[in-house]
Amino acid sequence: MTDHPASPGVPVLQATGIGKRFGAVEALTDVDFEVYASEVVGLVGDNGAGKSTLIKCLAGIHPVDAGSIAFEGRPVTIHSPKDATQLGIQTVYQDLALCDNLDVVANLFLGRESVDRMSASLNETEMERRAIDVLHSLSVNLPSVRTIIASLSGGQRQSVAISRAVMWNSKLVILDEPTAALGVAQTRQVLDLVRRLKQQGLGVIVISHNLADVFEVVDRIIVLRLGRRVGTFDVHATSPERVVAAITGAEFGEVAPAASPSNGGQPTGATA
């Protein structure tokens, strides 16, 4: 999925010592975060833990006050969402940013429409072909690529938003509460899509309060509490109770340590 793949073992994105303040409020303190290609990382924490702030720093909405970010092993500075997009970082927020009155094709190409140079009109045929190709590659089933967004189900709308995120040379996709307010069947559709993103070699970050969904689809869970990284868990070797204990700060056995610069930001391999 990349023109210049990262070296084996190098995170597609590695943030080190991230700090962010809003006036007197210290939203993030010395936070390390990493995600690898073909890996799904769950980012969890209570309200106010710093999840949204960290994601907005990675997406270029908030400049960091301290720390550094590397992308595919190269130091980068992300000043704006445009910088993040050019690197290959795409974020799908809860509101999805879809235009309900437009069809699927128009939403996939919103702001990036293909224009026929000869006629100076939209190349509808080419856009439709590319839309069908990307939806097919992700096994997204829709009535038609010409279906108006307003007539789609919640799961289908989420799938369109995610498909748009991966169309443009994406290497890392950030999903903010992707299953919120979805029914059982729609949630299954979205979780299956997350798995396909991983299979295609992308790094995926899933922010969610639904631990059942998190445990079903992610490889590692990183816990933030009060603006600090307090736990890193391998989902195959831990339990929801231990993750909840890390989220709340409750005493429940040994809370897994976070990765640190001393180990190169590698997963700690915390186990239950």
Could you read off the pLDDT of 123-154 as tens digits, one per residue?
Answer: 889 999 999 999 999 999 999 999 999 999 99
3-class SS at 84? helix
Strands 203-207 and 39-44: parallel
Can you identify the CATH homologous superfamily of domain 1-88+170-272? P-loop containing nucleotide triphosphate hydrolases (3.40.50.300)
Question: Do residues 29 and 74 lie in contact, with contact meaning Cβ atoms separated by under 8 Å?
Answer: no
What's the confidence (pLDDT) of residue 160? 95
What's the confidence (pLDDT) of residue 121? 81
Q: How far is CA 229 from the centre of its chain?
A: 18
**pLDDT tier at 117 (50, 70, 90 boundaries)?**
confident
256, pLDDT greater than 60: no
224-237 burial, b for 16+ CB within 10 Å, e for fewer?
bbebbbbbbbbbee
What's the confidence (pLDDT) of residue 8? 54
3-class SS at 222? strand
3-class SS at 69? strand
Burial class (CB in 10 A: 0-12, 13-18, 19+), 262: exposed
| Structure tokens, 176 | 């903010």
3-class SS at 40? strand
Among the ranges given (100-109, 118-127, 199-208, 228-237), the one the predictor scored with the smallest mean pLDDT: 118-127
Residue extent(s) of CATH 3.40.50.300 domains in the chain: 1-88+170-272
Could you read off the pLDDT of 180-200 as tens digits, one per residue?
Answer: 989 999 999 999 999 999 999
